[in-house]
Structure 1
Amino acid sequence: MSEITPPQIGPVIQKARKARHLTLEQLAKLSGVSRSMLSQIERSETNPTFAVVWSLTQALNIEFSDLVSGDAVARKSAMLDVVPADHVPFIASLDGMCRLKILSPPALAGKTEWYLVEIEPGGALTSAPHAARTREHFTALTDGLAITAGDTTTALTTGEVARYAADVPHAIANTSDTIASGWLVVLFS
């Protein structure tokens, strides 16, 4: 996979805010994101979390795909929405070893989320506990993956599905010497 530069969302947020004639203070009240954080985001001085980005898209009434692309890119009709592959948002771990393509629609964030996960050799997607009763379902698309939930670790082979508690510390690790991938579905209670 080639090196991908994260989108610069600050200028898009600023443009959308100004188009709605909102001050930073007004957008802060609408979104629940502090004025100082908004200022840092607009100047591209900070990388906001998914929750912050979600709050901003809702407050500005813009699509997540529009935010990360800088313009309207989704093709929409009454029956079908298509987001071009290069506009599907993704999250990368700080060490760059894990990449998650966000496949679920923004409206389902915090309810049901699904991702395409890619992990470099020796990398691990390690997560703190999510909300009570949250479950994850992971389908291995390659060999060399191990799932840990609490104190239990299990190796997966291609095609196997692991269903596990995600309200405890948990991880998906690549134990192979090649990039490993799978589908991750997160079900929040």
Structure 2
Amino acid sequence: MLSQIERGEANPTFVVVWSLTQALEIDFSELIGGSSAATGANDIEVISAEHTPEIRSADGLCRLKILSSPRLAGQSEWYSVEIEQGGKLASEPHAPGTSEYFTAITDGLGVESGESRVCLKAGETARYPADVNHHISNIGNRAARGFLVVLYR
């Protein structure tokens, strides 16, 4: 996986990146060069926009901002997703029992899981198995956005 990432042939999932940081015994924020700050007695953690981790597809048409805490990697993850016109966020099967929940913020998004396909309108949510091949694609004529939650069992 590391050599594929280095050659630009693979985009690691959040779980893969988290596992690498644990194996290398480094803090996730060190890997991305970010920092967080507690803002008072309530210990509210704030991650600035420029330090929010981001993953891009190899073709540059898909961008995911990692919104979930690194402590939840492998349990639940959530992302802000932007897909340019004609882009496709394709995923191989995750661990057995994994499911995804994708909410379209804009029109023009399609979801495929196994043999099932749906087109989403803004505000609609697709819930589907992610332990099979699946993808989210922009079938519209402009950039599209949504939120993705991945739940592992």
TM-score range, shorter chain: 0.7 to 0.9
Confirm whether residue 174 of structure 1 aligns to residue 103 of structure 2: no
Quote the residue 1:162 is aligned against: 126
Comparing both chains, which one has the higher relative contact order based on Cα–Cα distances under 8 Å and sequence gaps of 6 or more? Answer: 2
Aligned length: 146
Under a length normalisation based on structure 1, what TM-score does the superposition of the two structures give? 0.70
Please report how far the alpha carbon of residue 134 of structure 1 lies from its aligned counterpart in structure 2 after TM superposition: 0.5
Of the candidates 66, 69, 72, which is equivalent to residue 102 of structure 1?
66
- Percent identity, aligned pairs only, is 50
Confirm whether residue 60 of structure 1 aligns to residue 25 of structure 2: yes
Q: Which has the larger radius of gyration?
A: 1
The structure 1 segments of at least 4 consecutive aligned residues displaced by more than 3 Å after TM superposition are 45-53
Contact 1:133 1:167 in 2 (8 A): yes
* Residues in 1 aligned to 2:75 and 2:81: alpha-carbon distance in whole angstroms: 19
SS in 1 for 2:63: strand
Under a length normalisation based on structure 2, what TM-score does the superposition of the two structures give? 0.85
SS in 2 for 1:60: coil
Confirm whether residue 74 of structure 1 aligns to residue 36 of structure 2: yes
Unaligned stretches of 5+ residues in structure 2: none
Unaligned stretches of 5+ residues in structure 1: 1-32
Q: Which has a greater percent of helix? A: 1
Q: Which amino acid aligns with 1:74?
A: S
SS in 1 for 2:142: coil
* Residues in 2 aligned to 1:60 and 1:164: alpha-carbon distance in whole angstroms: 34
Please report how far the alpha carbon of residue 60 of structure 1 lies from its aligned counterpart in structure 2 after TM superposition: 2.5
Quote the residue 1:25 is aligned against: none
* Residues in 2 aligned to 1:120 and 1:61: alpha-carbon distance in whole angstroms: 33
